[in-house]
Amino acid sequence: MGQAGSERQHMTKVTHEFDLFGKHYALESGELAKQATGACVVRQGDSEVLVTAVVSKERKDFDFFPLTVDFIEKMYAVGRIPGGYLKREARPSEKATLTARMIDRPLRPSFPDGFRNEVQVVAMPLVADQEDPVDTVCVMAASAALTVGGVPFEGPLACVRIGRDPETGEYIVNPTYEERDVSDLDLELAGTSTFISMLEASGDEVSEEDMLDAMAFGQEAIAAFCAEQQAFIDAWVEANGPIEPKSYELDEPNTEVHDRVFAHYGEMEAALKDADKQSRMAKVAALKELVKGEFTEEERDAWHRAINVELKGLEKHAMREMVVETGERVDGRTATEIRPLMVKPDYLPLVHGSGLFQRGQTQVLSVCTLGMLNEWQRLDTIEPVDGKRYIHHYNFPPFCTGETGRMGAPKRREIGHGNLAERALLPVIPNEDDFPYTIRVVSEVMESNGSSSMASTCGSTLALMDAGVPLKRPVSGIAMGLIQENGKTVVLSDIQGLEDFLGDMDFKVTGTERGITAMQMDNKATGLTPEILAQALRQAKEGRAYILDAMLDAIPEPRTQPKETAPQIISLTIPTDKIRDVIGSGGKVIRGIQDDTGATIDIQEDGTVFIAGVGGAGEEAAERIRAIVKVPELGEEYVGRVVGIQPFGAFVELLPGKDGLLHISRVAKGRVERVEDVLNVGDEVKVKVIEVDEKGKVSLDRLDKPEAPASESKGHSGNRRREGSKPRTRKPGDHGNAQEQAPARKLRRHHEN
C-alpha cells in the first residue's frame, strides 16, 4: 500500500453533532469506506446514511461532465427482508431514483467547467428509523464527502425540506413523516448559503406569495446547514491536517478554436431563426459540419473536444444574445408569448378517459384508467408508505424527437417527469370515500420540443375530467426560463427545448386558479434574486390561466359519471358477522356471484364491500350480496320458493340462505290434513313475515291462500275411511295416534329451537 493509502487508513475519525430547527444531526467521517475519494455518514434522529464519492484518476474523452449518482435502498435499514425470489435488493424503486436525482441536480453545476474525470456518488441508508426521511440530508453528506476528499467544487452544499403547520402557519425544517402528513406544503430546496440551484415542491393550492416566503425561509435554513458543515470540515482539518486539493486536468478553452468558430456568429444566428424544431436542428447541424470542415484533419484529431465545445458555445451565445438584445426568441415569440395550443378531450374511444394536449411542437396523449381500490400500487421501500391509489406514468419514446433509441424500462428522466405531473394533480384528486377508485394516468409524449412534463399535466387533467373523476379544480402547467447575458435579464414563458438546454433556468409551475400545486426548478444563474423569482411566478400564473381557459373551453367540467366502458364501483357495508356468508365455504359463494355477474368484489375486514362491474354487472352483484345479508323484518312480503316440506308446515326460501316456516295451519283456507295436498317443493308462494323471534327464526303467513281440499282421513291401518263412517276417537290409554304424531312434534321442536 502506498503512503497516501496508508495515511487514509490511519485517519482520525471526526464526528460533529449539532441541533438545528428542533432536530438533532451528526456528520461523521474517518471510519467507513476509507478507500473512497471521500466518505461521510450523516444522521438525522436515528436515521443514518453513508455517502461516498469516488473520482476517476483518468480524464475521460467526453465533451460533458460524467457524473453518476446512485441511491441504494437497503431493506435491512428497516429490518425487512426483500421480497421476490432472490431475496436481495434489485432495481431501484421510484423513490430511490427520485432521491438520486435530488442529490445529482445541486452537485452537477457545482463542479468547474471543463471537469472531465468521472465522478460517482453513492448514498446507502444504513438505518431508516421510520420517523426521519433520509433523502435531503444526503446532499449535505455528499458535499462533505467531496470536500474531505479534496475534490474541487463550489461547496458547501445542503438541501432542506420545508413543511408548514396548517393551523399555526409556522414553517418546519426537515419535517418527520408524521409532520409531513399534515403539512399543506412540501418544498425541497438545495444550494449554497447564497444560491438556490434546485427546487421541488408540492402544495395544497399555495399562493405565489406564500411560496416565495417559504423559499426565502428555506434559503436561510440552507445557510444554517452549510455553516454546520463548515464546522465539521474545520474539525476534520484540526484532527487530520489540511485537506490537500487534488489536481485534475480541465478542458481549457482553446483561443484559436474559439475565434475560428465564433467567426460564424451571423450564420448561426440566421440558422436559429426557424420556428420548426427539426428544420432548425438540420440547419444548425449543417452549419456545424461546415465549420468543422474548415479545420484540417490533423486539427480535428487534436482539437475535436474543443471544437465540439466551442460549437455548442456558439449556438448558446447566439440564442441568448438574440433574446436579450432584440427581445425575439428563435421561433419569433416575445418573452411572455405562449405557443399555439390544441386541446382535444375524449380523444380515444372505449378507454375510460383520454385527452390530447399540444403546445407548439410538444404533444402529449394522456389516458386514464379506473380500477378497484385493491388495485392500488404497493410500494416496497425503506419509507413508511404502503402505496398509492393515484398513479401517473410518463413515457418519452425516441420517436417523439425524431430519433431511434432503446425502448424498455423508464429512464430516470421519465420517472422524474412522471412524478412531477403526479404531484401536480394529487392535491385535487378526490378521496376514496368520494370516489372509490384506483386511478392510473399514462402520458405518452408524441412530440417533444420542451415542457413535455407540463403538457403531461394538462393532458392528464383532460383525461381525468373525461373519465368522470370529480377533480376539486382543474390544473394547468407551464415551464419558465431565464436568460442572463450582458448584464441583462429576461424571464421567458413557455420555454422550448433549446431555451431549456441553453438557458439559465428551467422553472416548471403547475396549479389551479386558486394556487400552486407543484413546482420544479433547476437553476444555473447565481444572480437569481427574489425579484426575479417573483416575476417568474407572476408570468407563470398568467400563462397557466391562459392555458387553463383553453382547456375549459374544450371540457368545462368533469363528466358527471364515468363512461359506460369504465367499471361502475358500488360500495356497501355489511355486518362483519355476515362476511362468512357472503364469501361462503372456500369462497364458493363469492366466486359464484363473480362468475355469474362478471363483477369484481373486494370485501374489507370492517365489512365494507367494493363491487366493480361494467354495465349493470355491479348492481346485480350488489343486489345478490344485499339479499345474502338481509334479515327479513316483520310485515315484509316475499314471493318465495318452497324448499322443504314437513308434517307441520313448509319451509319457504325468502332470500338466498334465508328460510321461513309457513305453518300447516296457514297454507290454505280451512283445515289441511297434509301440506303436500296444497304445496310441493319448488312451488312459488306469496308470503308475509308475521314473526321473527329472538334467535332470528321467521314465521310466515300465506297471502294468496287457496281453499283447503276436501278432508280425507286415514284409518289406523292406513286404509281410507269409508264414506259416511264415523271417525275414530282417541280413548284413554290408546297411544296409536300419539305415536304417529311424535315425529311431527319432534321436528316442530327442532325448528322452534
Residue 183 contacts residue 204 (beta carbons within 8 Å) = no
Residue 392 contacts residue 425 (beta carbons within 8 Å) = yes
Residue 482 contacts residue 490 (beta carbons within 8 Å) = yes
Burial class (CB in 10 A: 0-12, 13-18, 19+), 108: middle
CB-based contacts of 360, cutoff 8 Å, min separation 6: 331, 339, 340, 449, 450, 494, 496
Q: CA angle 573-352-447, nearest 5°?
A: 140
Helix, coil or strand: residue 310: helix
Question: In terms of Cα–Cα distance, which of 262, 351, 278 is closest to 310?
Answer: 262
Determine if residue 506 is labeled as part of a ligand binding site: yes
Residue 298: C-alpha distances to residues 36, 182, 201, 295 (Å): 39, 65, 51, 8
Separation between Cα atoms, residue 141 and residue 229, nearest integer Å: 9
Residue 672 contacts residue 664 (beta carbons within 8 Å) = yes
CB atoms within 10 A of CB 358: 20
Separation between Cα atoms, residue 740 and residue 674, nearest integer Å: 14
598: cell is 362478471
Annotate 149-186 with b (16+ C-beta within 10 A) or e (fewer): bbbbbbbbbbbbbbbbeeeeeebbbbbbeeeeeebbbb
CB atoms within 10 A of CB 738: 10
Separation between Cα atoms, residue 507 and residue 198, nearest integer Å: 10
Determine if residue 500 is labeled as part of a ligand binding site: yes
Residue 35 contacts residue 7 (beta carbons within 8 Å) = no
Residue ranges of the binding site for Mg(2+): 500, 506
Residue ranges of the binding site: 500, 506
